[in-house]
């Protein structure tokens, strides 16, 4: 009987911590390679607010403030050769190195209107597992409804797909967009979309998330779900520990 109880308690603890572990997400974009399209070069070949070391966007370092003088920022300009020829949309092509179950992608942007730097009018991504078959655009939402001038603001894009390549598209409101970090979080993907789309024949390795730009604020939905899983796991663990203590106390 004692062994059975110990076994049951062990299984409860293992399952609880498994739930906790699976609820975690990890930024798998750290150190990933990327290509920036939209850095401005003038007629003399001088570049402005460049990506000095070619790693600013995935070095897991964030700017200290929204100031354009912080070298963590890469400046994207609407009059750059690429962006001017791309309808006023700068892009960053991110390669994660291999396929991951990506829950969401995040772009960190300066909001410094006094210096002519504004948040993108829109941030949207397209994603691919193989670099050939791409999703429809998936739009992000800023982390706050009313971004404060002078702060760095994140745009969060819900992905929920198996992807390796993520192309961020930044639609310019004004001349300048400044980005200091891009993130891609891997974790348990919500496969609701996959289930609904299973009638397509299942040939495509990339799910095609709905092109959506929700008017309502759904940006917090994923995080509370994760929190509830974590809290449930923690509660089960605590209950199992208390039960073990009571059991041992009674045995004495
Ligand atoms: Ca950075």
CB-based burial label for 164 (10 Å; 0-12, 13-18, 19+): buried
The two three-digit tokens of residue 241, written as one number: 């520990």
> How do strand 47-48 and strand 26-27 relate by DSSP bridges?
unpaired
**Distance from Cα 56 to the centre of ligand 1, integer Å:** 4
User: Which of 139, 132, 137 is CA-nearest to residue 205?
Assistant: 132
pLDDT in tens, 82-108: 999 999 999 999 999 999 999 999 999
Contact 57, 74 (CB under 8 A): yes
| Residue-level length of the chain | 252
pLDDT in tens, 58-90: 999 999 999 999 999 999 999 999 999 999 999
Contact 152, 62 (CB under 8 A): yes
Q: Mean pLDDT in runs of 10 for the chain (252 residues)?
A: 55 53 84 98 96 96 96 98 98 98 98 96 98 98 96 98 98 97 94 45 39 36 45 59 62 56
**Distance from Cα 71 to the centre of ligand 1, integer Å:** 9
**Distance from Cα 55 to the centre of ligand 1, integer Å:** 7
The pLDDT value recorded for residue 216 is: 36
For 31-218, the fitting CATH number among 2.60.40.290, 3.40.50.150, 3.40.1410.10, 2.60.120.1190 is 2.60.120.1190
| Alpha carbon 52 to its chain's center | 23
β-strand partners of 162: 101
This prediction has a pTM of: 0.71
The pLDDT value recorded for residue 110 is: 98
**Distance from Cα 147 to the centre of ligand 1, integer Å:** 20
Domain locations in the chain as residue ranges:
1-25+220-252, 31-218
Q: Rg for the chain (alpha carbons), in Å?
A: 22
**Distance from Cα 130 to the centre of ligand 1, integer Å:** 26
């Amino acid at each position: 009987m004692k062994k059975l109880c110990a076994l049951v308690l062990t299984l409860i603890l293992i399952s609880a911590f498994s739930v906790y572990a699976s609820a975690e997400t990890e930024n798998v974009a750290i150190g990933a390679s990327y290509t920036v399209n939209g850095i401005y070069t003038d007629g003399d070949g001088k570049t402005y607010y460049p990506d000095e070391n070619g790693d600013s966007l995935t070095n897991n370092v964030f700017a200290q403030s929204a100031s354009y003088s912080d070298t963590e920022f890469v400046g994207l300009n609407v009059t750059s050769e690429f962006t001017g020829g791309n309808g006023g949309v700068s892009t960053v092509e991110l390669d994660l190195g291999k396929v991951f179950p990506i829950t969401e992608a995040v772009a960190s942007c300066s909001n410094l209107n006094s210096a002519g730097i504004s948040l993108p009018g829109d941030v949207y991504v397209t994603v691919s597992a193989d670099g050939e078959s791409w999703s429809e655009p998936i739009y992000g939402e800023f982390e706050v409804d009313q971004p404060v001038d002078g702060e760095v603001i994140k745009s969060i894009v819900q992905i929920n797909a198996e992807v390796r390549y993520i192309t961020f598209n930044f639609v310019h409101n004004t001349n300048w967009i400044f980005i200091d970090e891009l993130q891609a979080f891997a974790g348990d993907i919500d496969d609701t979309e996959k289930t609904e789309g299973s009638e397509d024949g299942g040939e495509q390795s990339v799910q095609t998330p709905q092109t959506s730009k929700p008017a309502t604020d759904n940006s917090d939905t994923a995080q509370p779900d994760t929190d509830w899983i974590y809290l449930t796991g923690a509660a089960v663990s605590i209950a199992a520990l208390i039960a073990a203590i009571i059991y041992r106390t009674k045995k004495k």
